[in-house]
Structure formats: structure tokens, C-alpha cells
Structure 1
Amino acid sequence: MVKRVAVVLSGCGVYDGTEIHEASAVLVHLSRAGAKVRMFAPDADQMHVVNHCEGKPTEEKRNVLQESARIARGDVSDLEQLDVSAFDAAIIPVTGAVKNKDCTILPHLEKLIRDFHKAGKPLGMCCISPILAAKVLPGCELTMGQDKECEKWVKKTAGVVKEMGCKHVNKDVQEAHVDIKNKLVTTCAFMFGVMVKETLKLA
């Protein structure tokens, strides 16, 4: 049976939207697995817009749905149209809009995460997006890489996950962690300071 997977995007760009390499890797591997994919994004203004040449915010305004269409080649729907009953799983690639444990989650996205979880349907998250699970699903298990400090692990987030009451599981860049109880699959992706070659192996 063909699996139906919802992929939730948050714009286009590592600093203020979805990381393009990771979204592409997710879509490539879902295609190889024969999944039927539909992409969604919030129809809302971005929190901020970043000049990716300089890594600095600008005064521009951009729409999350319209920016996500760059990755989806135009085939993306408003997140509010996502019907949990129509899908077998959901994946949230990294979102640059997630900055820290004090981030505010879009209410509709939070509801969707809870609804997929309540329905016993798998959720997949990579890079920094597992922070969303840590906020919405207390006590869940997840990985954002290693808790050791070295130049290869560019974000020190394992401690933050523990502070939020969740269990952090150390995994290497080619590995994922499966929280069987919560049907949550997480992987570190670009939390590890390597190039695309390793990220593409994730699935």
C-alpha cells in the first residue's frame, strides 16, 4: 500500500525558513520509497527575513507559503488544509524559524503535531525541528546529534532538550533515533557541521 506523507515547510532558506538541502533529501528519499507526498506551509508572513549572503535580518516582508513554493515547485498547500486523517505520517524538515526552547509554535502546527501523535501516526523531524516535539510532547525521546562539545557539532542543544524534560539520545550524523512509544523519528542533519554528502545519507 502506498504511504501518504505530509511534508511541512516553513519558507525557503536556512536562516528564516526550511533548509533546502534537507528538504530536498527528505523528498528524494520519500520518492525512492514510493510514498505519495503532499507539501504544506503556513499562509502567513515570516517572522523575519534574512539576507543569506550576510546572515543579517532585512526590512523585507515575505510570505511563508509563497517562499515554500520555491522548494515545492509551486505545488504546496496552506497548512490549515492538512487533514490528519488523509495521511499516514508527517515530516518536518529543519526550520530556521525555530531558534531556542522559548520559541512560540504556530497554534495550528502545534495542533497538527498533537493530532498526528494522538492518532498514533509517525512524525519525522530533523536538525533543529525536534525542539518542536520537545515542546509539544513532554518526555519524548529525540536526537539532535551528540552532547559532546567539539567543532563538528555546531549547536549545543542536547542540554536544552534535557532542560525541557525530554531524553536526548546521542546519534551520529548517518543515524536516526526512533522513539517507539511516541512514534517520533529524529535525526541531527546539519546540526553536524558537514556538507551535503553526509546529509543525503540520512534516510
Structure 2
Amino acid sequence: MNKKVAVILSGCGVYDGAEIHESVITLLRLDQRGAQVQCFAPNVTQHHVIDHLTGAEMPESRNVLTESARIARGQAKDARELRAEDFDALIVPGGFGAAKNLSDFAGKGADCSVQPDVLQAARSFAQAGKPIGLICIAPTLATQIFGEGVSCTIGNDAETAGALEKMGARHVECAVEDIVEDEQHKLVSTPAYMLAGSISEAASGINKLVDRILEMTVQEA
């Protein structure tokens, strides 16, 4: 029986939403491995809109769920509908949207909070003992999902790693092509574009993360 995996997106675009390469690599690898996938996103106004050509903030408003549906080819659901009992695992790609729309880490650092619908959904997977994959900057959500003592990686960026540890996480330095697994919490993380200089480098770690998440679902079966 094919495994069912939920993917939480945070918009569309590295500077104000989900990192598109990371999201597509995740979805592609899941499909290659025969998993059934459903994308979700919070139905909220995104933090702000960035012109990805110039880097300037734009005077407009966009919805995180609507933008996420661009990546999901229209097949995105409200995070409020996400239930752990319907899936075998959860994966969250990175991009600044994870730190701006799924949480306010980009503005508040270690004092951040996670968007309530996303937090409730992610915690339901943790409480059910189902594996979770966090990619790129998304591990900044880890302590609020699992509590203090969780192990994860964002690569080797000292400032972000310091904020993670201030929140109570144990940061583990990791090369772009590798993953960090917290066996106790069933959490897998990888740096992706926190370190990657190319799409193939990002894919090297993401593919390992997806493969490991799916292996963990088999072990739990």
C-alpha cells in the first residue's frame, strides 16, 4: 500500500513563500517513490510580497494558500483540514515563507511563534509518533513542534544555529548532501538552500530526507 505524505507549503517563491526548487524536488522524489501526496498551507495573508526580480517589497497582498496552489497545480488544501490520522508522514520545505508565513522567526528569531493551524497539524504528527521532515530554514519550527531537546540542522550558519539553540534545540552541523535524524522524535532535517549552491546540491540532501522519511513509515507499519 502506498504511503500517504502531507506537505505543508508556505506560499510560492524563496523570498516570501516556499522555496520552489525545494518544494518541487520534494514532490518529485515522493512521486518517484510511489507516495501519495497532498499539499497544505495556512489560509492566511502572507507576511509581505517581494519582487523576486529586484528584491524590493511590493505594495500588494497575497494569500499563502492561494500562492501555494501555484506549486501544487491547484491541489492545495487549508492546513486546518490536515489530520495526522490521514497520513503516514509530514514534510515541510523551506524558503523564507517558513520563517515569515508559517512562523514569525524572520522577525522575532528565538522569540518566534508558529502559525496556529500549522502548529496544531504538525504537533498532531509528533504526538502520533509519525515522522516529520523539515527542510532548509523549516527546522526553526522544531522546538515548538517537539519541545526542547530536539536535534535538527540548518547546515552551519552560526546565527541561525544560535537562535535554534536558544529556543532549546540541539543544532547539529550538516553538509548539504546529508541529513540529521533525531530518532527519538522521528524528525529528519537537511540544509538544502541554507548551503546549496545549485539545484542539484539541494536535491542531494532532500532526496535522502524523503527516502529516510518513507523508510521510517515502513518501520512503523
Partner of 1:169: 172
Partner of 1:126: 135
Letter paired with 2:190? T
Structure 1 runs of 4+ off > 3 angstroms?
A: none
Partner of 2:200: 197
Letter paired with 2:156? Q
Q: Offset at 1:161?
A: 1.5
- Whole-angstrom CA distance in 2 between matches of 1:121 and 1:13: 28
Partner of 1:184: 187
Q: Offset at 1:130?
A: 0.4
TM-score by length of 2: 0.85
Please say if residues 154 and 160 of structure 2, whose CA atoms lie closer than 8 Å, have aligned partners that are also in contact. yes
Partner of 1:69: 69
Partner of 1:50: 50
- Name whichever structure is richer in helix by fraction: 2
Partner of 1:102: 111
- Whole-angstrom CA distance in 2 between matches of 1:2 and 1:193: 30
Partner of 1:87: 87
Letter paired with 2:149? G
TM-score by length of 1: 0.92
- Partner-residue secondary structure (3-state), 1:38: strand
Q: Which runs of 5+ in 2 are unaligned?
A: 100-105, 208-221
Please say if residues 127 and 189 of structure 1, whose CA atoms lie closer than 8 Å, have aligned partners that are also in contact. yes
Give identity over the alignment, percent. 44
The change in CA–CA distance for 1:50 and 1:147 in structure 2 (over 3 A counts) is closer
Q: Offset at 1:157?
A: 1.5
Q: Which runs of 5+ in 1 are unaligned?
A: 149-155
Q: How many residues align?
A: 196
* RMSD, aligned CA: 1.3
Letter paired with 2:180? H
Q: Offset at 1:108?
A: 1.2
- Partner-residue secondary structure (3-state), 1:61: coil
- Whole-angstrom CA distance in 2 between matches of 1:36 and 1:147: 34
Partner of 2:39: 39
- Partner-residue secondary structure (3-state), 1:101: helix
Partner of 2:124: 115
